Amino acid sequence: MNQALQSAWPGLAHSPRTPFKARVARAILRPTVDRLPVRLTFPDGSHWGAGGSDAPEMVVRRPAALFNRLGADTKIGLGEAYMAGDWTTGPDTDLADLLTPFAARLTTLVPPSLQKLRRLVDVALPQHERNSIEGSRSNIERHYDLSNDLFAEFLDPTMTYSAAWFESFEESLESAQERKMEGILDQANVGKGTRVLEIGSGWGALAIRAARRGATVTTITISQEQAALARENFAREPADVAGRIDLKLLDYREVTGEYDAVVSVEMVEAVGEEYWPTYFSTIDRVLAPGGSVSIQAILMDHHRYLTTRNSYGWIQKYIFPGGLIPSRQAIDETLQSHTGSLLVTESRVLGPDYARTLRLWRERFDARWDAIAAQGFDETFRRMWEFYLAYCEAGFGVRYLDVQQLQMQRKI
């Protein structure tokens, strides 16, 4: 047997019940981890990793199960193993702190010789998760219609589920979310009398702030749960504010009319590459002459987007079905090819702010777990959401991911 497989984890390599792919996964993971400032602890007392006793610690409870999952699907196995309890964090280790060294080296974790085989192990995006009108509704329901009460437990009072914009580390999440919304409205030049289209209503916070400025707002969503709570939130506003908001259960492809401003917060990630031309051409079609657009978008570097665009990952399987993060270049190319003359005229970078936003959400989620569990969510769900929030925090923290507020206007 290959010496690397024999020494990767004592005893396991000799088990006839260990699938070949699991042995390969273990053989790849060992030298990778031994270059990282982390510490993997196994039930027999052995350790992997370059980190000392004070390094972030991964406690591997069921090594065979972990490597079986990694062997079956490298991109999904680690998260599934955490959900199942095959591994957990050490007593003094934060999950995001443990995942950060992996995220910082995500593009180099697999040796170049094996990266050539990526097409053999990557799973294509499921056909049933295509973001057609029907598919989009199904994808959105699986996440945003989970429970308004769930989201209320860990979001700030504005019920804003996107990156905040912090002025200082000490600033409250609510204040930072308010600044983020004002920044979007400023980019879109929203003021008294402005006709605003919002694509993706959330729970109504941005529409309310636009109406408070004196704008008339059409806000659209395909989430039944979000629409119901947004309408309740609108009804709590003074009549002159609530009367300027019109919420429609409508797909963006079905929008009609003309608007001076179009705003959309972290919606483009749910559109899907296949429908980006339709999304941006729709915005171009309804935007009045001289109008402005502000889109807050999660982004990744273009070479990473090209590598992952057709690859099914843990986040897509468990959190955001149908989701795909674009690059700034992909957006620019789509605007150039599929709109009359729209282009990005201003950008505001909020990547580090998203890392802090996610940390605060996770702290709130953990602190309120008893109340969330009382809604019927189980331990596997808890570990799934812990991994999701920590995994994303690590990605933004090391700038593997970014988020920007993009102002778009027509060329004159």
Backbone angles phi, psi at 248, to 5 degrees: -125, 135
Cβ contact 183:348 at 8 Å = yes
> At residue 244, does pLDDT exceed 90?
yes
Report if pTM > 0.75.
yes
In terms of domains, do 304 and 345 share one?
yes
Range of the domain at 181: 129-410
Cβ contact 216:196 at 8 Å = yes
> At residue 259, does pLDDT exceed 60?
yes
In terms of domains, do 317 and 343 share one?
yes
Counts for the chain of helices (H) and strands (E), in that order:
20, 11
Q: What percent of the chain stands above pLDDT 70?
A: 90
> At residue 137, does pLDDT exceed 90?
no
**What are the residues whose beta carbons fall under 8 Å from the beta carbon of 2, sequence distance 6 or more?**
27
Q: How confident is the model at residue 3 (pLDDT cuts 50, 70, 90)?
A: very low
In terms of domains, do 243 and 208 share one?
yes
- Report residue 323 as tokens: 């989701």
Cβ contact 314:75 at 8 Å = yes
Looking at residue 384, what is its pLDDT?
A: 96
> At residue 186, does pLDDT exceed 50?
yes
In terms of domains, do 65 and 29 share one?
yes
Looking at residue 2, what is its pLDDT?
A: 34
Residues 56-108 pLDDT 10s = 999 999 999 999 999 988 889 999 999 999 999 999 999 999 999 999 876 55
Q: What is the CATH number of the domain that holds 183?
A: 3.40.50.150
In terms of domains, do 78 and 211 share one?
no
In terms of domains, do 16 and 137 share one?
no
From 98, 121, 144, the end of a domain falls on 121
In terms of domains, do 99 and 134 share one?
no
Which amino acid, residue 259?
Answer: Y
As a whole number, the mean pLDDT across the chain is: 90
Backbone angles phi, psi at 243, to 5 degrees: -70, -15
In terms of domains, do 222 and 262 share one?
yes
Report the domain count for the chain: 2
From 80, 101, 121, the end of a domain falls on 121
CA 30, 32, 33 angle in degrees (round to 5)?
70
Cβ contact 368:150 at 8 Å = no
